[in-house]
Amino acid sequence: MWFTISKLVAPVLAPANLLLGLLVASAAWILWRPRSRAARRLAALAGAATVALAVLPIPDLLLRPLEGRFARPVPPPADVAGIVVLGGAVQPEMSAMRGEVALNRAAERMTEAVALSRRYPQARLVFTGANAALLGSANTEA
């Protein structure tokens, strides 16, 4: 149940879609009340925010602290019990069509897993992943 709700609500709450909705709502407000100064200001603010997010590297600046939050351990640990490879690197439908693994922009998850499994051959290698589509095929990554 939660999976279905999250798949239906997440696109509405995406920041770009919220800005677009705000822009459309302010445009409708301007059409309804052409002299409304607040509607014009809201439209200008939503438009400026949309352009700023599209042109400036704001999303990258916001993500950088999250991506660098956990640094690699130096020196690497002497012993590792397991390696967990997170899903999201494989395109299940494309892989099923071609009969071979098709990777996307997150392919480094797989290449790093190979490097780690060579460094720690005794470690158990676990792959995660599922089909995140609300409707569609039963192909999964794991």
pLDDT tens sequence across 36-62: 999 999 999 999 999 998 899 998 899
Q: What is the mean pLDDT of residues 127-133?
A: 77
pLDDT band at 90 (very low <50, low <70, confident <90, very high): confident
- Residue 142, pLDDT > 70, answer no
Predicted confidence (pLDDT) per residue in 26-38, tens digit: 999 999 999 999 9
Is the pTM value of this prediction over 0.85? no
How far, in Å, are 66, 71, 77, 134 from residue 61 at the CA level?
A: 10, 18, 31, 31
Model pLDDT, residue 44: 96
Model pLDDT, residue 70: 85
Residue 52 and residue 33: Cα distance in Å, rounded?
27
Residue partners of 32: CB distance under 8 A and separation at least 6: none
